[in-house]
């Protein structure tokens, strides 16, 4: 009878240890879920803050670009006005100074369009469009022709 009492006490002790272990695991899972929720909340707050900072940075950049463009415009108009004035003083012809100013404006416009075309050629979207239209990898494997070197990797 003493052995049965001892076996029963050992079983109860083992059962209590298992119960304590399961309680500890449940507590750990509950802590994990709470921390995970807190991290998700922090991520949302961080994303909102980054969006606000990005919007402010974009506005500042836009303002800077406008300021630089206005400065360049004022400088260009000053140069053209000064050149037209000098041309008028030299030739005493209003028509010639107007034609010279228009020629300078057209020359600048031609140069700006040329520079824009060169810049846009460097920032081509052809590859981006080609990648977005590319079929999925499973479809690619079924469509691939082994004799076609362009379709195989």
Instruction: Reply yes or no on whether the pLDDT at 74 is more than 90.
Output: yes
pTM: 0.46
- Within a domain: residue 152? no
Query: How many structural domains does the chain have?
Result: 1
| Domain carrying residue 123 | 2-133
In a domain, 94, yes or no: yes
pLDDT, averaged across the chain: 81
Q: Is the pLDDT of residue 150 over 90?
A: no
In a domain, 124, yes or no: yes
Instruction: Read off the pLDDT of residues 75-114 as tens digits, 9 standing for 90 and up.
Output: 989 998 998 999 999 999 999 999 989 998 999 889 989 9
pLDDT at 24 over 60: yes
Is 24 contained in some domain?
yes
* DSSP per residue, the chain: -HHHHHHHHHHHHHHHHHHHHHHHHHHHHHHHHHHHHHHHHHHHHHHHHHHHHHHHHHHHHHHHHHHHHHHHHHHHHHHHHHHHHHHHHHH--HHHHHHHHHHHHHHHHHHHHHHHHHHHHHS--HHHHHHHTSPPHHHHHHH--TT-TTT--
Q: Residue 153: what pLDDT?
A: 42
On whether residue 41 sits in a domain, the answer given is: yes
Say yes or no to pLDDT of 152 above 50: no
Give the pLDDT score at 65. Answer: 93
Look at residue 150 and tell me if it is in a domain.
no
């Amino acid at each position: 009878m003493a052995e049965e009492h001892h076996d029963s006490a050992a079983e109860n002790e083992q059962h209590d240890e298992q119960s304590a272990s399961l309680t500890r695991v449940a507590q750990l899972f509950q802590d994990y879920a709470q921390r995970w929720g807190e991290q998700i909340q922090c991520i949302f707050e961080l994303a909102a803050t980054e969006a606000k900072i990005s919007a402010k940075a974009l506005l500042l950049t836009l303002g800077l670009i406008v300021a630089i463009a206005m400065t360049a415009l004022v400088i260009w108009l000053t140069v053209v006005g000064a050149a037209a004035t000098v041309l008028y003083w030299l030739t005493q012809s209003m028509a010639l100074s107007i034609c010279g100013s228009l020629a300078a404006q057209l020359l600048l416009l031609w140069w700006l369009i040329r520079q824009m075309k060169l810049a846009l050629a460097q920032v081509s979207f052809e590859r981006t469009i080609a990648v977005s239209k590319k079929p999925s990898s499973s479809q690619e494997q079924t469509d691939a022709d082994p004799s076609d070197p362009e379709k195989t990797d």
